[in-house]
Each structure stands twice: as structure tokens, then as C-alpha cells.
Amino acid sequence: MNEEIHEVKCLVDNEPMLSDEGFYLQELSQPISNAVKADYSKAKITSFICAHHLLKYRVNHVDNLINADLKQSQKINRKLTRALRDDNYDIKDVNDSLQESLTFGQKVSDAVAKFGGSWPFIFIFIVLLIVWMVINGMALFGVHFDPYPYILLNLFLSCFSTIQAPIIMMSQNRAAERDRLDYENDFHVNLKSEHELRILHAKLDHLTQNQLPHDLEVEKLQLEILGEVRTELAKLREENSKLKDKLRQKEN
């Protein structure tokens, strides 16, 4: 780039000015130089535009960036809101919904299966068997209604197993029903989480890929505009002090 200052003409109004008072189009960022070219068809990359006329394009560009980001953000937020609103599946309390539909028979079968599958039941059962065998086998207290080999006991045990099996199966059916409700809940929760996660991902992508670089660009433009303002201010001060000197000379 040619650093030495020389006279150029602004492409907007053809006013002659110094080359440090503005930029050549090739020095500007693509969107800004495109906007200038759109307004002035004769503009080339070697054309010059003064800082004053460039300000409008810079401010426009900042506006466009912020608006585009805002629109995209709003779009994603709307998607998220819609996803949350459309999800009308209520998570069921499995215990509650099972308890409500429980009949008396089912409650009994649950209680029997619970007690039948416990150590106390096994100990009590063994003790009962031993008592039965001892009383009848040794004819204690003169009782031996079921002498060895305890045929009546056998009959009782067979009946007992026959009834116990379906009771346990009933209880198992209830456990399966509970599992099914659990799965249904899990499935919906997973589906919902996945959907929301996907939208959050899009939001994060938007933040990192668009918003953040745009924010940096806006910041850069602001600094550039600030730099122009400072330069202009310095010039004004210089002119001001020159005028004051002239005034003083006249007074003297």
C-alpha cells in the first residue's frame, strides 16, 4: 500500500482531498465496499471515498449485522418456545396411576407375592413342616392324624403350590405393567430432551459462528469510526488555534 499522502478525489462528490482522509475501496471490508459499489456503479476497487461519506455505509453495515443476528436469535427462540409449547405429554407418576387402578384381588396378590418371596416366609414354612412331622411322626400329645409318610401334608403342599404359582404370575404382570409405564415416560422425556438439545445446539452454533464474529466486527467498526472522530477533532482544534492566533495578531 502506498503510504505517502497525495491528493485524491472522493467518488461521492468529486471533492479533492488528501489520501489520509478516507479509504480506497480495496481497503474496506467486502460488505461495505459492495454497498458502496451498489450505490455508485462507476466505483472501482481503486476508487477513493472520504471518511465522512463512508460513515453512512459503516453505520448501515453495523445495523445490518445487528438486525440479522437479532432475527436469527428470534427465529431460534421461537422454535424453542414452540417445541416447549407443543410438548403436551404429561409425565405420569407411575406409582399413582398404578395404585389408582389396583383392584382388591391385585392388592392381595401383590401382598402374597411379597411375603411369599421373603426369608421370614421360608423360616416359618420350615418350622411348620418340622412341627407337623414331629407331632405326627412321634405321635406327641397322642396326635397322629397324618402318620409317616405324611400324605395329608403332601396334599396340602401340592394345593399350596398350585395356588401360589398364579398369584406370583399376577404380581409379575403388575411389575410388567409398571415397567411399560416407566418406558413410556422415559421415551417421551428422551424425545423431548433430544429435541431441545438440538435447538440449543443451533443456538450455540449461531452464537459462536455468527453473533460472536459479528460482535467483533461491530466493535472494530466502532473503533474505526471513533478514530475518524478523533482525527476530525484534532483538525478542528488545529484550525481553532490557528484562528485564535490570527485574531491575536489582528488585536496587536
- Cβ neighbors of 5 (< 8 A, separation 6 or more) are 18, 19, 20
From residue 25 to residue 64, the character string flagging contacts with Zn ion as x (rule: CB under 5 A) and all else as - is -------------------------x--x-----------
Q: Which stretch binds Zn ion (CB under 5 A): 6-14, 62-70, 198-206, 223-231?
A: 6-14
Minimum CB distance to Zn ion, residue 231 (Å):
15
- What's the rounded Cα separation, in Å, for the pair 150 and 136? 8
Is the CB of 25 or the CB of 50 nearer to Zn ion? 50
- Residue of 197, 193, 216 lying closest to 205 (CA atoms): 197
Of the pair 36, 113, the CB lying nearest Zn ion is at 36
Among residues 182, 174, 202, 23, which one has the least CA distance to residue 99?
Answer: 174
Q: By CB under 5 A, tell whether 19 contacts Zn ion.
A: no
Q: Kindly state the cell numbers that stand for 123.
A: 423360616
Residue 10 near Zn ion by CB under 5 A: yes
Q: How far is the CB of 45 from Zn ion (least distance, A)?
A: 17
Smallest separation, CB 219 to Zn ion (Å): 25
How far from the centroid of its chain's Cα atoms is residue 233's Cα?
Answer: 48
3-state secondary structure of 143: coil
Which amino acid, residue 172?
Q
Q: What is the DSSP letter of 93?
A: -
- Segment near Zn ion (CB under 5 A); pick from 4-12, 134-142, 143-151, 186-194: 4-12
Contact between 6 and 18 under an 8 Å Cβ cutoff? The reply is yes
| Beta carbon nearer to Zn ion, 25 or 76 | 25
12 belongs to the binding site for Zn ion (CB under 5 A): yes
- Choose the binding region for Zn ion from 11-19, 113-121, 138-146, 174-182 (rule: CB under 5 A): 11-19
Near Zn ion in 101-130, by CB under 5 A? none
H helices of the chain, in order, are 30-39, 51-86, 94-100, 104-116, 119-138, 151-206, 212-251
DSSP SS3 for 23: strand
Contact mark string toward Zn ion, 162..191, x via CB under 5 A: ------------------------------
Interface segment toward Zn ion; rule CB under 5 A; list 9-17, 63-71, 103-111, 174-182: 9-17
Q: Which residue has the cell 437479532?
A: 70
In the bound state, the residue with its beta carbon closest to Zn ion is 10
Number of residues in contact with Zn ion under rule CB under 5 A: 4
Reported as type and span, the H/E element at residue 17 is strand 16-18
Q: Which amino acid is at 35?
A: A
Site of interaction with Zn ion (CB under 5 A): 10, 12, 50, 53
